[in-house]
Amino acid sequence: MPSNITRRRALMAGAAVAAAASPAAAAGLAAGTGDTAIGKLWAQAESLRGKLDAWSAEIAAAERQGGIPGWMRLSGEANAVGEARYQTLVQILKATPKSAADLRLMASAAQDRDIADGPRLWAVAQTREALDGFASRLG
């Protein structure tokens, strides 16, 4: 078997293991970021996460209203920072990994609540609001 196929299979197996790891374990694996494009994006996502701490109480309250990431329910700068972080995570997932560390960072991004739950729960919340509005018009 050619070595590039063996290497590719090993990398894919490593990515599968990292993706199957719990979010806490994946966060531990993602500690080092490196100088790759994915590493820089991860550092940016973590910086944006830190900025969201300024609205932690508002975000927590908003999450209790519907289960989606709370920043999605907020407006203004909190929403802009949350959206920027979300888009950074999407960029990580679309990037081409250059190393095993990049694969671990991609697995961490894939397990982030904003990616794993955000779009699905947001869509459910939007549909629920639409149904409620429709039902009230039928009155």
Question: Locate tokens 């972080």: which residue?
Answer: 85
Q: Are 19 and 110 in contact (CB under 8 A)?
A: yes
Q: What is the pLDDT of residues 7-52, one digit of tens each?
A: 555 555 555 544 444 444 444 444 456 789 999 999 999 999 999 9
Report pLDDT for 25: 43
Give the CA distances from residue 9 to residues 5, 6, 15, 90, 117, in Å, rounded to whole numbers and listed in that order: 6, 5, 10, 24, 29
Average pLDDT value over all residues in the chain:
81
Tokens of 29: 């694996």
Task: Quickly list H helices, 21-139.
Answer: 23-29, 37-52, 56-66, 76-94, 100-111, 113-116, 118-138
Q: Are 103 and 34 in contact (CB under 8 A)?
A: no
Q: Which of 112, 5, 114, 98 is nearest to 59 (CA)?
A: 114
Report pLDDT for 21: 47
Q: Which sequence spans correspond to the domains of the chain?
A: 3-138
Q: What is the pLDDT of residues 78-102, one digit of tens each?
A: 999 999 999 999 999 999 999 999 9
| DSSP label at residue 99 | S
